[in-house]
Amino acid sequence: MRAIHIVTTRLSSSFRPILLLDLVSSCSPPRQFSIPRRLICAAANGGGRSGSIVAPLVTEEDFHKKIDVNPPKGTRDFPPEDMRLRNWLFNHFKEVSRLYGYEEVDYPVLETEALFIRKAGEEIRDQLYCFEDRGNRRVALRPELTPSLARLVIQKGKSVSLPLKWFAIGQCWRYERMTRGRRREHYQWNMDIIGVPQVTAEAELISSIVTFFKRIGITASDVGFKVSSRKVLQELLKKYGVPEDLFGRVCIIIDKIEKIPIDEIKKELGFTGISEDAIEQLLQVLSVKSLDDLEDIIGGAGEAIADLKQLFSLAEKFGYSEWIQFDASVVRGLAYYTGIVFEGFDRKGKLRAICGGGRYDRLLSTYGGDDFPACGFGFGDAVIVELLKEKDLLPELGQEVENIVCALDKDLQGAAATVATALRDKGQTVDLVLESKPMKWVFKRAARVNARRLVLVGKTEWEDGSVSVKVLSSGEQFQVKLSDLE
């Protein structure tokens, strides 16, 4: 009998209350939600359905009442300052993926609910952002990207050449009833390799994350990776005659080991029918922090030890030995992992997992497809920003505009448009002043957008086909023919 694989969110532990927005700008306090109830339409067919909308009765007075200006609970706006940080982060995700030769993919943010519901589903089941659509279909805002990847791989079938090396950056959702500032969405960077059974795949995935950390200034003294293999547990369970189909459930329980009291863990494991002996041995093995000690306990013949040894050997060749350590307690909260599992952690121990991943060789068959060897990781946008903030490594990102172009006279606004067009045709970024404004205002604007040059269009110069250019860093000013302006 085969192991059962359950889908829960790959990075549930980094789905955190901290807002990217909180960290870089202050958030206005929630205001009274004042849209009158009758403006919000209730459908007639079965209270609460998302049926067709009935034309609301709105009075002129209602109409101009202030709406709640905040984004829905648990979601974020990205005003320019936050968007710059998001782009900075995502560009590093993309650039690293590109360096490793991975191709970008994406899937719908809305999927069939069934894609995410599995036998031993954990947090995911309670926290799925699911609903019935207007056609009475059960759908969900995706909690993670891997099930969609599996669906697409099955769909593509034999038309793809393996291995696939894919990456994606997508928004993921969860729903919690008890929300106290907890986020309902985050973005997750995923990299996955489909079709490679060897540990070289996991080794490369960890290497790519290390490359990412280095690029943003994070070192091996800031973070590390705890690595283990689900095969350790599998071999132990086998030894005690525990049925293989309990494997996923046992992993889910063990993943909670640092979150709930040990007696609870024992009780939950007991419910699965595992003997007390086996539970004791299991918990003892989970505390092991060295591969040699593990080998002493479970023997060196199994795949678990061989895989882990190979991974540590490859880590050396990839050049990130100092970043990784064996830790038998790492099992990850996702039920679908079958081999190596790993998570990135901050060495100060203040934050939850920064990222996590592993091998999931039997996920595709849970969807009715043919299995392919596969592994991947998820890396959220929340914990990493917390860490960067703590280490004072958040970049200062201002708007960057090369030129601010301004007419000195209302009649010259057309001329200023001509100048702006000429510069843009040459690839120069231009903030064109669209109104007649005093010079004081223009200088303030130039400073705000970090303009490098101020290009002034004045009557006398323009009659000559020229403009005044002021280099804002030096104050240097000169006159130049439009055709010579670079």
Binding-site entries: 144-146, 174, 188, 192, 332, 336-337
Site for a copy of itself in 187-206 (CB under 8 A): 193, 196-198, 200-201, 203-204
Binding-site residues from annotation for L-histidine = 144-146, 174, 188, 192, 332, 336-337
Please, what's the largest Cα pairwise distance for the chain?
Answer: 94
Using the rule CB under 8 A, is 104 a contact of a copy of itself? yes
Number of residues that bind a copy of itself (CB under 8 A): 135
Distance of CA 471 to the CA centre of its chain: 40
Q: Which of 150, 182, 177, 161 is nearest to 15 (CA)?
A: 182
Answer for which of 218, 251, 314, 387 binds a copy of itself (CB under 8 A) is: 314
Q: How many whole angstroms separate alpha carbon 35 and alpha carbon 66?
A: 7
Q: Which of 225, 199, 203, 205 is nearest to 101 (CA)?
A: 205
Q: How many CB atoms lie within 10 A of CB 171?
A: 15
Answer for which of 16, 111, 226, 378 binds a copy of itself (CB under 8 A) is: 111
Q: Specify the residue, 137 or 239, whose C-beta has the smaller distance to a copy of itself.
A: 137
Answer for which of 22, 23, 90, 131 binds a copy of itself (CB under 8 A) is: 131
Q: Which of 120, 123, 191 is nearest to 336 (CA)?
A: 120
Which residue type, as a one-letter code, is found at position 463?
E
Using the rule CB under 8 A, is 113 a contact of a copy of itself? yes
Using the rule CB under 8 A, is 261 a contact of a copy of itself? no
Site string for a copy of itself, 427-446 (x = CB under 8 A): xxxxxx-xx--------xx-
Site for a copy of itself in 407-426 (CB under 8 A): 413-415, 417-418, 420-421, 424
Site string for a copy of itself, 158-187 (x = CB under 8 A): ---x-x-xx----x-x-x-x-------x--
Q: Specify the residue, 122 or 235, whose C-beta has the smaller distance to a copy of itself.
A: 122
Site for a copy of itself in 374-403 (CB under 8 A): 399, 401
Which residue type, as a one-letter code, is found at position 299?
G
Using the rule CB under 8 A, is 28 a contact of a copy of itself? yes
Sign of CA dihedral 88, 94, 97, 99: negative
Helix (H) or strand (E) holding 477: strand 477-481
Tokens 């648990």 — which residue? 74
Locate all alpha helices (DSSP H) within 228-344, ordered by sequence: 230-239, 247-255, 262-271, 276-286, 291-298, 303-318
Using the rule CB under 8 A, is 459 a contact of a copy of itself? no
C-alpha separations of 424 from 187, 238, 430, 460, 486 in Å: 33, 68, 7, 23, 10
Site string for a copy of itself, 337-376 (x = CB under 8 A): ----------------------------xxxxx-------
Q: How many whole angstroms separate alpha carbon 366 and alpha carbon 186?
A: 26
Q: How many whole angstroms separate alpha carbon 53 and alpha carbon 223?
A: 51
Answer for which of 17, 44, 119, 348 binds a copy of itself (CB under 8 A) is: 119
Site string for a copy of itself, 41-80 (x = CB under 8 A): x----xxxxx-xx-xx-x-x--xxxxxxxxxx--xxxxxx
Using the rule CB under 8 A, is 137 a contact of a copy of itself? yes
Using the rule CB under 8 A, is 448 a contact of a copy of itself? yes
Answer for which of 23, 24, 90, 110 binds a copy of itself (CB under 8 A) is: 110
Hey, is 126 helix, strand or coil? helix
